[in-house]
């Protein structure tokens, strides 16, 4: 009985460590986004002050047209830079979370296989079919998770390519 309680405690501790890693990765991403927002707000305020000064110096329509294009180009380039950096931060954070959770699921699958093998040693011979079926099910789920990880990476790369092309065109 003590062995079961000890295993439960160690698994609970491992699960807590995994969630702590996920939360830390999420908070790290949110911190990076907050820093990006602060930096962008400062840059926009500075650019706004410069734009206001330039507009206050304008005295005719030709001067307004001359000032208008650089202002628009600066605004678009700031927007593109912000979007690009936010996209990278989001990808880094989601990759870190997926990596942590994928490792945990893999470890859980190996633990379940080990428990099934231990149960097989301690069960009567008639239960072999159920144990082997459970082991096969865990193996199938593990391979499905591995395939899912392989499919999600190309999917994110494919969806990132059009966005990157669009951003590159506007820059």
What separation in angstroms does the CA of 12 have from each of 18, 22, 23, 28, 114? 10, 15, 16, 24, 17
Which three-class secondary structure string do you get for the chain? CHHHHHHHHHHHHHHHHHHHHHHHHHHHHHHHHHHHHHHHHHHHHHHHHHHHHHHHCCCCHHHHHHHHHHHHHHHHHHHHHHHHHHHHHHHHHHHHHHHHHHHHHHHHHHHHHHHHHHHHHCCCHHHHHHHHHHHHHHHHHHHHHHHHHHHHHHHHHHHHHHHHHHHHHHC
> What pLDDT is attached to residue 9?
77
Query: What is the structure's pLDDT at 33?
Result: 93
Choose among 91, 101, 62: nearest CA to 163: 91
Model pLDDT, residue 110: 63
Residue-level pLDDT, tens digit, the chain, 171 residues: 457 677 767 777 777 888 888 888 889 999 999 999 999 999 999 999 999 999 898 889 988 888 988 898 999 999 999 999 999 999 998 888 888 877 776 666 666 656 656 655 666 655 566 666 667 777 777 777 677 666 656 555 555 566 556 556 655
Query: What pLDDT does residue 126 have?
Result: 56
CA 170, distance to chain mean position in Å, is 25
- Confidence (pTM): 0.56
Compute the distance between CA of residue 100 and CA of residue 18 in angstroms, rounded to an integer: 7
């Amino acid at each position: 009985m003590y062995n079961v309680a000890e295993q439960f405690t160690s698994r609970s501790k491992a699960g807590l460590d995994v969630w702590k890693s996920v939360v830390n990765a999420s908070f790290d991403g949110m911190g990076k986004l907050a820093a990006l927002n602060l930096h962008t707000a400062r840059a926009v305020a500075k650019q706004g002050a410069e734009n206001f000064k330039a507009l206050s110096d304008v005295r005719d329509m030709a001067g307004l047209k001359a000032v208008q294009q650089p202002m628009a180009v600066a605004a678009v380039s700031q927007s593109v830079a912000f979007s690009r950096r936010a996209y990278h931060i989001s990808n880094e954070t989601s990759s870190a979370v997926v990596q942590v959770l994928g490792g945990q699921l893999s470890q859980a699958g190996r633990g379940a296989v080990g428990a099934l093998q231990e149960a097989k040693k301690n069960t009567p011979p008639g239960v072999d079919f159920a144990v082997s079926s459970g082991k096969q099910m865990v193996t199938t789920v593990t391979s499905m998770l591995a395939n899912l990880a392989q499919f999600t990476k190309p999917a994110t790369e494919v969806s990132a390519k059009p966005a990157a092309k669009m951003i590159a065109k506007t820059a």
